[in-house]
Structure 1
């Protein structure tokens, strides 16, 4: 473009300041939304890509083929000794194991434990994960059993400005042990599922039960392959490997029940995050950003085509002076690219200003990488300018010079131009209405899962982590329980091997049914101690609870070969084939391990609302410290949660300072399951709100422009007897028609999108027509209010002034 073209653009923007502001402002807001949500998508899809050779690393998944079982499908954990067995059958295999990470251990200083992110790994860890080192050698640091590697931030926290290399620390993994700091690695970035500030060696001896048992889940196993083809070839050998190795624990043909799959490391985050639908959430928010940008572009095209007639005489004069169509198209495309560039700059400013608010709303820490964003915005401005400016440029270039110069007024595009603008409004508001429906459904669902019945009272409940730590011992654990029970405000105390937030252990087994062939359905089982059901306020639907008064309630009877009484959940009633809870009472199931049902309790949700509630049965163990695997304590209390939590912490730190205190309220432990959906809802709402705003700005600008073009028509209508109300109805109806038609686009789109999203929840709201009707009514009201001001002003114009207006 030459300086005359730039001057023409400048005069056009100055002459029509309002339309220029609407055009550039709407496009800038669209670019800002696209940029911010693009940064979010970039962050979520960048996990582990900072690692060298990340494309060669695979997580080993355990895949259960047990339809109807709560454990059906893939799991990111494997048996503890899986890698050992794989290396025996496949010599030369490169792999490593990781146990722990976030809150996986502690550091003892002066007898007081501080919880840290301790990960226990194999000596081969750096063969897979080449973490950047700040001091020392990572591989040599893990070569000896008492060597440890720590992060830069932890080194500064524990050793200050002194050299940490060679210093000793008492680190608790499975048990306390003195370690020598052999190296310092760089702090791991936020875009990593691997959270660790301390690396120590895995012990040689199995540290927990079932370490070598097929079907158990103890840690994460990673393998390295040079090419994806090599990984796929190895994966095909695994069913035969399972049949060779797992028969002893799982019976004949174990590969029909359990499988092993390889998941690329970069795909772990989107499949392993808490709750289902993480990948869907990222895709959805990415589409929101893209569609918001598209709405802004449509807004630009709509206003640009509407304004095209205002420059018709300029185009005609240029043609008379020798300009050809190609030159005109180049000029107007250049103007569109420059306008988009100005909007991109403004959008970048808006994104920078709005990013702190978005980070606060979404719990994020996004920043704008200017070295990447600026070139991308330049390219985006060119693409947007060409895409959004092509139609107006062609429309202007086709203006017939003679007809325009002979006419008393500039052409407005005729009926075809009006239809194009109406179609663009339909598209624009169709997406806006779909966004409003989506926002309403997301908000309703997230509120619903937060307030849904989980089978117990969440308020007034504190969860204290395991008392089964080897450093405590049973005698001290009994004293801790007695002291906690004696606290003022504690009304009940119970123990179990599972609790709110997923702490403890998760186990299942098949329950054979009398008279039915086969192993029977798979059910979760939970081992509870005294006070558990009182603490959670759970009352039986049918039958009774387990207690000390009935000898057969004691799970120890099962170990002696006798039958034992159990409770089952409401869902287990139908899973076991009973028609009602009352029918299940007194029935014995379990085959050679007879279990008699004496009570039915409500379903309990301890984990994410995305996960289905499992059919469950409950054992009873009178001694709260003899529970299977772990002991988790729950306290029911009255009063201020913070004050009570402080009292519990004081007791714990006084009696077991060598074990970190991780007590939290039930609401705090459940909050992490809702965090991702809350973040997605807030980001979706921000994007949707701005998309609707852009649509309203475009509609207002279009209404303002068309109203000005129809001033003479309005004057004639009023001269012929039309009232102001008639004029308002005419103008509002003209713009309301495409908004109403937009529902035909919005409703099917929103229905399919929201049905897919809600499918990721086990407990979900119904997709009521009220959401669709309400969104349409709101869009209609917004559209009416948007154009009403222009219509009222036009209707009040004096006919004599209107007829003289040009």
Structure 2
């Protein structure tokens, strides 16, 4: 563009400041939303792509074929000794493994919970993690530990941690380690979650070796390096034989139950969740659609305003400019306008990012080295796309007709139809956004307040009760101390608690008269008064009681011949017609178990997770991996203080973890509520852009129809007639926009709600309500312009040009 073209653009913007502000402001808001949501999508899709050679690093995952079981499907956890089993077939296989991270650091007699993960000696080399100091071979010595920089600064703030001693407690009690290396803190976008690494302890007894080789005992994450597609195919081809040779614990046909796949580590973060890919895709679409609405708004206003520059174009053509030059000028102006809007959008994104981070629980920042070049490309591409149609309209003006006319051309019926179609498209997307926001907010509110099958009020869960540092005597003492707290009305223990802590085990329950091992059913070991403490409803029969000797499976679990309680969902799975029909029936084949009660389904975790068939087993002695739960009344603060005092007396330096049921359930709400908030922010701004564009278009069209309004009033039209005419002109495309919005929102929200096991109905109220709001917003947007135009004196309007 030459300086005359730039001067022309400057005059156009300053002469019509309102339209320039609406154009640039709407684009800036759209670009700001696009930047912020684009940063979120980039963060979620960049997990582990910083790892050197990540393209050739794979995670081994098990695919379990257990229809109807809560354990059916993919799991990233594998047997502890899977890597060793694989190397028996391929000694040259490069791989590593890591165990779940948990544990305690004991310093000065005080225990602090840390993410401590046992790994094999080659872990640092496999992932090529960067060291701040120390030896890369540190993990090859069983007495060494590796700390991240942040952990080293916490425990050794006064100097170099290398060579220092640190006491770590995991499964086998406190052990002293020497700090052999300091690892640079990992980026946030990684699935590797630990603060300390210790060498994996090799099993020594035949029982431990057999347990670690059991393909059904899932406890580790296993990784392998496969450099070529041929290596990957060969690895997968060898899996069936490995499962056949080592799957005796799975039954006679282990290949029918289990298979192994490999997944690139960069895909694990999105692949592990059923909801995250949908969330990322949804918010990415919101960002793109908001930008599209902003560009549509720009095209609409620019096309409407093009007639105001008709005489300028006519004079340029008279002075020798051809159509190509005119188009290049206007497209250049569009690119420059988008560039100005992009700069303003970047500023808005920087200013709004702290609020978005707070609303979404994120820690996003703007990488200017990446964002600025992207905005340059966006300015060019979006400017060309948004400016092409207005440039084409303007360049078609005929000089003679324009200069001879008493008014500027407005594009005729064709231009009006195009603008109306753009309003339909724009508000269709906006209404779909409003419907989506309403559904998401309603679902998240429903999930937070839904009936979970137990009384969530007044429950305190001791999440560290199964710490390996506590022996059975200490656990028994603690349970007794908890019962002595005045506000505590009941205390129980189980291998499952609200929030999902404990163990996740299942068993095949053989059914009478049905061949085969029977369905896989979740098993939960419970202590005394478990159902009373949680307030779980009994549907048929009774729950466990010490009065009945066969209720207690502490001594007889291996042989069977004890009583069980099942949940509602286990009734049809076990072949019974009703809860009453199940009472007194014996299941289990060679390990007989008598059903004495049926209780309601209980949702211990997320509303997205399906409640599987479950049976409960009572043990008078504390079961393995038991979690203690207290039922209390009144204020939880004095209860927590009393629990803390009892813990410090019996557990010493071990860290205490205790949360109320609401605190533990909170983590299951956060992701969906964050998605809903971010969606609502994007949708709200998208609607704002549409409203701003509609207001500008209404202002422009009202000004162009001033003489028409004067003539109508001279012929007897009332002010209300004028208001109805102008409001109706813009109301029609908004009403038609529902034809786009309703099916689009229905499909999108039905897909989103399908991810929840417990969900609301997709009521017509959401659709009708959003449409009514959109119509009211449109009416209020143009009403002011219409009222002002209706009060115009006919004499002044007829003289207006």
TM range (shorter): over 0.9
Specify the SS of the correspondent of 2:569. helix
Look up the match of 1:6: 6
Aligned match for 1:538, one of 536, 539, 544 = 536
Look up the match of 2:587: 589
Q: How does 1:517-596 map to 2 (within 5 A)?
A: 517-556=515-554, 558-559=556-557, 561-596=559-594
Q: 1:82 and 1:251, CA in 2 relative to 1: closer, same or farther beyond 3 A?
A: same
Aligned match for 2:145, one of 143, 148, 155 = 148
Q: 1:560 and 1:442, CA in 2 relative to 1: closer, same or farther beyond 3 A?
A: closer
Look up the match of 1:264: 264
- Between 1:457-466 and 1:113-122, the stretch displaced more is 457-466
Deviation, structure 1 residue 449: 1.0
Look up the match of 2:402: 404
Q: How does 1:328-727 map to 2 (within 5 A)?
A: 328-556=326-554, 558-559=556-557, 561-623=559-621, 625=622, 627=623, 629-727=624-722
Q: 1:232 and 1:728, CA in 2 relative to 1: closer, same or farther beyond 3 A?
A: farther
For the residues of structure 2 that align with 1:670 and 1:96, how far apart are their CA atoms?
34
For the residues of structure 2 that align with 1:250 and 1:52, how far apart are their CA atoms?
37
Deviation, structure 1 residue 92: 0.7
Q: Deviations over 1:94-146 (max 9, x none)?
A: 11111122xx11111133211111111000112321111111223x1111001
For the residues of structure 2 that align with 1:272 and 1:137, how far apart are their CA atoms?
33
Deviation, structure 1 residue 539: 3.2
Q: Deviations over 1:701-748 (max 9, x none)?
A: 000000000000001011111111011111111100010110000111
Q: Is the 8 A contact 2:68 2:612 kept in 1?
A: no
Specify the SS of the correspondent of 1:211. helix
Deviation, structure 1 residue 654: 2.6
TM-score w.r.t. length of structure 2: 0.98
Specify the SS of the correspondent of 2:310. helix
Q: Deviations over 1:615-653 (max 9, x none)?
A: 101111112x2x1x3111001111222332233223212
Deviation, structure 1 residue 467: 3.6
Look up the match of 2:246: 245
For the residues of structure 2 that align with 1:381 and 1:84, how far apart are their CA atoms?
55
Q: Is the 8 A contact 1:56 1:228 kept in 2?
A: no
Q: Is the 8 A contact 2:560 2:593 kept in 1?
A: no
2:223 aligned with 1:222, yes or no?
A: yes
Q: Deviations over 1:275-310 (max 9, x none)?
A: x21101100100000000000000000000000000
Look up the match of 1:172: 169
Q: Deviations over 1:317-373 (max 9, x none)?
A: 000000111111111111001100100010001001100000000000100111111
Look up the match of 1:767: 762
Aligned match for 1:746, one of 720, 726, 741 = 741
Look up the match of 1:26: 26
Q: How many residues of Structure 1 are paired with residues of Structure 2 in the alignment?
A: 797
Look up the match of 1:67: 67
Specify the SS of the correspondent of 1:149. strand
Deviation, structure 1 residue 562: 4.8
Look up the match of 2:154: 157
For the residues of structure 1 that align with 2:214 and 2:123, how far apart are their CA atoms?
23
For the residues of structure 1 that align with 2:365 and 2:159, how far apart are their CA atoms?
32
For the residues of structure 2 that align with 1:543 and 1:261, how far apart are their CA atoms?
44
Structure 1, unpaired ranges of 5+:
none
Specify the SS of the correspondent of 1:237. helix
Q: Is the 8 A contact 1:558 1:593 kept in 2?
A: no
Q: Is the 8 A contact 1:94 1:127 kept in 2?
A: no
For the residues of structure 2 that align with 1:441 and 1:417, how far apart are their CA atoms?
36
Look up the match of 2:127: 129
For the residues of structure 2 that align with 1:362 and 1:92, how far apart are their CA atoms?
45
Q: What is the Cα-based RMSD across aligned positions, in Å? A: 1.3
For the residues of structure 1 that align with 2:21 and 2:467, how far apart are their CA atoms?
66
Q: 1:686 and 1:208, CA in 2 relative to 1: closer, same or farther beyond 3 A?
A: farther
Specify the SS of the correspondent of 2:566. strand
Deviation, structure 1 residue 228: 4.3
Q: Deviations over 1:671-729 (max 9, x none)?
A: 11111111100000000000000000000000000000000000101111111101111
- Between 1:740-749 and 1:480-489, the stretch displaced more is 480-489
Q: Deviations over 1:198-227 (max 9, x none)?
A: 110111017799432221211111111113
Look up the match of 1:86: 86
Q: Is the 8 A contact 1:466 1:631 kept in 2?
A: no
Q: 1:411 and 1:229, CA in 2 relative to 1: closer, same or farther beyond 3 A?
A: farther
Q: Is the 8 A contact 2:464 2:657 kept in 1?
A: no
Q: Is the 8 A contact 2:146 2:181 kept in 1?
A: yes
